[in-house]
Amino acid sequence: MSVAQKLASSTYYRVALEVPAAVADELGGILIGFGAIGSATKWSRRIARAGRKTVTLESYFRRLSAARWTTIVRRLKRAGLIERELEVAPPEPIVDPGWAAMWKERFQPLPVGRRLLLLPPWETGRGDGKRCEIVIDPGQGFGTGHHPSTRGTLLAIEHELGRGTIGSALDLGSGSGVLAIAMRRLGVAKVCAVEIDPAARANARHNARLNHMGRDLRFSAELPPDERFELIAANILASTLIELAPTLIKRLAPGGRLILSGILEREAPTVLARYRPDLRLRRSYRERGWITLTLGAA
């Protein structure tokens, strides 16, 4: 390996946002949803005009281009999560002070529900054979299973597939591909995964190959025309779920189930309102301020 390659392999990217202290934890979780490997807050002496203390939220990414960060910031502003007038600096490359090794130690095999076990590639073979193993190599795609929204979605998928055989499923906003892989592992015959971010799609295809599903899963940037699905899972921002409500309702097959996640508990009533009266709430999963909703025909 050349010196340049060694340097590149030990470089991370730091971004910073000045936000009200009250929302820093929530926003940190959302940035993990966009691929951050972690976040930290630094208290500022500045006091916002409204009287609220502000903090600097620093988040760290393994890979992050200026264009990708601009897209993330635009989506956060559009969702009302940060002020539209906030000026945001581009990603700052920093040399890894040993985080990778520490992070690998923390990413241990993760049991989810009754049947799933999520593993990083360096921990394969650790299962007891009683759970379905899913190997995830964390990249820019969201979904190691450690975030509450991912866990909630996996629990909902497991429950729905425990109710009976499902022939077709859609993973919308697939990130790392963990949900699509879980659907296949739990018995769905045909799974379609949609992800608009090219880097996340590449990571998802890599993970599919790690799970020997390279030919079984299709990852694309767009929904297939006119296709309907018995099970749909969408773990994305609440604002996007609201925008997509007519599309998702239309794409759900009769008697199907729709799993929505990436939703803060306070956002749930607004999201549910967009899916009624066509669908009603069947089940929900709550963890650390996040909620996953399972909807079915009214």
Instruction: Kindly state the average pLDDT of the residues 52-79.
Output: 87
Instruction: Kindly state the average pLDDT of the residues 226-244.
Output: 95
- Answer positive or negative: Cα dihedral of 76, 82, 83, 89: negative
Question: Quick one: pLDDT at residue 26?
Answer: 77
DSSP secondary structure string for all residues of 267-297: GHHHHHHHHTTTEEEEEEEEETTEEEEEEEE
Q: What is the pLDDT of the chain when averaged over all its residues?
A: 86
pLDDT tens digit sequence for 238-253: 999 999 999 999 999 9
The better pLDDT of the pair 81, 42 is held by: 81
Within a 10 A sphere around the Cβ of 238, how many other Cβ atoms? 22
Instruction: Kindly state the average pLDDT of the residues 133-148.
Output: 75
Q: Which domains does the chain have, with CATH numbers?
A: 3-99 (3.30.70.120), 107-297 (3.40.50.150)
**Weakest-pLDDT range from 71-75, 231-235, 281-285:** 71-75
Instruction: Give CA–CA dist 246/123, Å, rounded.
Output: 41
Question: Quick one: pLDDT at residue 46?
Answer: 46
Question: Quick one: pLDDT at residue 271?
Answer: 97
Contact 188, 163 (CB under 8 A): no
Helix pair angle (148-162, 24-33), 10° resolution = 60
For residue 288, give the DSSP letter. T
> Which residue shows structure tokens 């022939």?
167
Question: Quick one: pLDDT at residue 123?
Answer: 82
Q: Which helix (H) or strand (E) holds 148?
A: helix 148-162
Instruction: Give CA–CA dist 12/62, Å, rounded.
Output: 5
Q: Is the pLDDT of residue 9 over 80?
A: no
